[in-house]
Amino acid sequence: MTQYTVPRGTRDILPEETTLWQFVEQKAREVFALYNFREIRTPVFEHTELFLRGIGENTDIISKEMYTFQDRKGRNLTLRPEGTAAVVRAYLESNRRNQEPLSKLWYQGPMFRYERPQAGRYRQFHQIGCEVLGAGNAYQDTEVIAMAQHFFTALGLKDLEVHINSVGCKICRPVIKERLKSFLGDNLDNLCEDCRKRFETNPLRILDCKNPKCNDFFVGLPDISSVLCADCKSHFHDVQDYLNILQIKFKVNPRLVRGLDYYTKTVFEVISGQLGAQNAVCGGGRYDNLVQELGGPALPAVGFAFGLERVVLIMQNQNITVPDARPYILLAPLGENACGRAAVFAEALRHSGVPAEIDVSAKGLGAKLKSANKLGVAYVYILGDDELLEKCGQLKNMLTGAQEKVAFTDFAARLQKNYQQDRGEK
Ligand SMILES: [Zn+2]
Ligand SMILES: [Zn+2]
């Protein structure tokens, strides 16, 4: 028989790991709601044109990473490689602007990019992100940064640090690019192939290069912040003021640029971990031209996104554990006659909110206690022929090993009470 495997670049997320995923998703829901963000769900595929327009044709995503296909009617469709373009499309299509001056939206789901698979990087990966549409005020940038920091703190991530920068706007970006080009131009031959390509298409991205060889030539880089226009300068200043007011520690990192072309003014990353093991857990920024670029009005916007694979990996590396929902009790009928009775008990417990498992196998008591240990249950209720006659089972406390008789009539109420008490203590 053929042994099927997952497609290259994809993976299964197994129950041992989904606990962490659910924890991250749950925290996102909780924390984002505190900031008045509401969830939006868009399709997994969109018209290819949307991404060509929204992401920027000179990016790696557009040039080589999109999963594009034609449907049976010859429409060009693409599996979404990121979330923002679709959210903006849905925002415009649903006329939300007429219903609310400011829209705070968040999304989650799988994204697709045809990348070379490597550790922690997959062709189907998962993102959670948020977008604030209709707000140009510097407070909004700060609120989004504050929410990101709040969220990652709630996950238990250690040594969080916020890095910010301004990448300018339509007016001052060309000046920034020219400065960079004239500074790097002399050394162009010494830069890596990616950088040489970016020199023509998007010189700002050269700053993003992780190649140590290129880094040597960045020494003495012109100060980008001095080239910003008055509007960008004062916006960046206000963002830093708000961060100070909210006592959010941050660093201005003049080398911080984001992979996507559409960012304007503020860009930021949240970093976790100590020096040497630092990881960016999320990135985002302002994108004041994208809504118009996608056919809408000139409307400022700001947001951030993070990859779940990466965040889960960092949590694992930092030994962050989350409570795992396991059964509270195992029903252990011995012999066929007891199975029906035990099944009724198991179902009654589940209906009263107590997670219960039942072992109807033909195994003996020793084996059933062993599997109870493996499950990590607090109690085992043992039902043999004698117990059926007496209408009274043996309740074993798996922590203390103590065992006592509990009548059938008292059993469900007793377990429910124990369960509530145990849960209250945690
Ligand atoms: Zn500017
Ligand atoms: Zn380079």
Secondary structure in 3-state letters for 191-258: CCHHHHHHHHHCHHHHHHCCCHHHHHHHCCCCCHHHCCCHHHHHHHHHHHHHHHHCCCCEEECCCCCC
Q: Residue 99 — pLDDT band, cuts 50, 70, 90?
A: very high
Question: Same domain for 67 and 156?
Answer: yes
The alpha carbon of 214 and the centre of ligand 2 are apart by a number of angstroms equal to 5
Mean pLDDT of 38-60: 90
Tell me, yes or no, whether 196 lies in a domain.
yes
Best CA proximity match to 259, nearest among 65, 28, 16: 65
Range among 24-28, 64-68, 175-179, 294-298 rated most confident: 24-28
Ligand 1 centroid to Cα of residue 238, in Å, is 14
35 and 90: one domain? Answer: yes
**Shared domain check, 144 and 45:** yes
Q: pLDDT digits over 379-401, tens only?
A: 999 999 999 999 999 999 999 99
Tell me whether residue 322 is in a domain: no
- The ligand whose atoms approach the alpha carbon of 210 most closely is 2
Mean local confidence (pLDDT), 185-198: 84
Closest ligand to 187 CA? 2
Distance CA 319, CA 373 (A): 24
Q: What's the 200 CA to ligand 2 centre distance in angstroms? A: 13
Please give the residue range of the domain that contains residue 180: 173-226
Q: Is 424 annotated as a binding residue?
A: no
Whether 97 and 208 share a structural domain: no
Tell me whether residue 131 is annotated as binding. yes
Band (pLDDT 50/70/90 cuts) for residue 276 is confident
* Residues written for the chain: 426
Tell me whether residue 416 is in a domain: yes
Residue 159 and residue 237 in one domain? yes
Same domain, 45 and 146: yes
pLDDT tens digit string along 144-160?
999 999 999 999 999 99
The yes-or-no verdict on residue 426 having pLDDT over 60 is no
CB 167 within 8 A of CB 283: no
Q: Which ligand has the minimum distance to the alpha carbon of residue 266?
A: 1
The answer to whether 127 is a known ligand-binding residue is yes
What pLDDT score does 216 carry? 81
Of residues 80 and 219, the one with the higher pLDDT is 80
Q: Looking at the 3D structure of the chain, how many domains does it have?
A: 3
Residue 328 pLDDT greater than 90, yes or no: yes
124 is in an annotated binding site: no
Average pLDDT, rounded, for the chain: 92
pLDDT tens digits for range 355-364: 999 999 999 9
Average of pLDDT values for 89-116?
96
Instruction: Give the distance (Å) from ligand 1 centre to CA of residue 262.
Output: 14
The single residue listed with the structure tokens 């999304």 is 107
Residues 142 and 186 occupy one common structural domain: no
Distance (angstroms) between ligand 2 centre and the Cα of 57 equals 20
Q: Indicate whether 84 and 190 sit together in one domain.
A: no
**Looking at residue 31, what is its pLDDT?**
98
Q: What is the pLDDT of residue 295?
A: 93
Q: How far is the CA of 220 from the centre of ligand 2 (A)?
A: 16
Taking the C-alpha atoms of residue 62 and residue 118, their distance in angstroms, rounded to an integer, is 20
Range 67-80 average pLDDT: 96
In this predicted structure, what is the pLDDT of residue 425?
59
46 with 124, same domain: the answer is yes
Identify the band that residue 420 occupies on the pLDDT scale cut at 50, 70 and 90: very high
**Averaged over 249-275, what is the pLDDT?**
88
The Å distance, Cα 265 to ligand 1 centre, comes to 7
3 found inside a domain: no
Which CATH number goes with the domain that contains 339?
Answer: 3.40.50.800
Q: What is the mean pLDDT of residues 241-245?
A: 98
Query: Coil, strand, or helix at residue 302?
Result: strand
Indicate whether 239 and 95 sit together in one domain: yes
**Which residues, in sequence order, are CB contacts of 196 under 8 Å at separation 6+?**
188
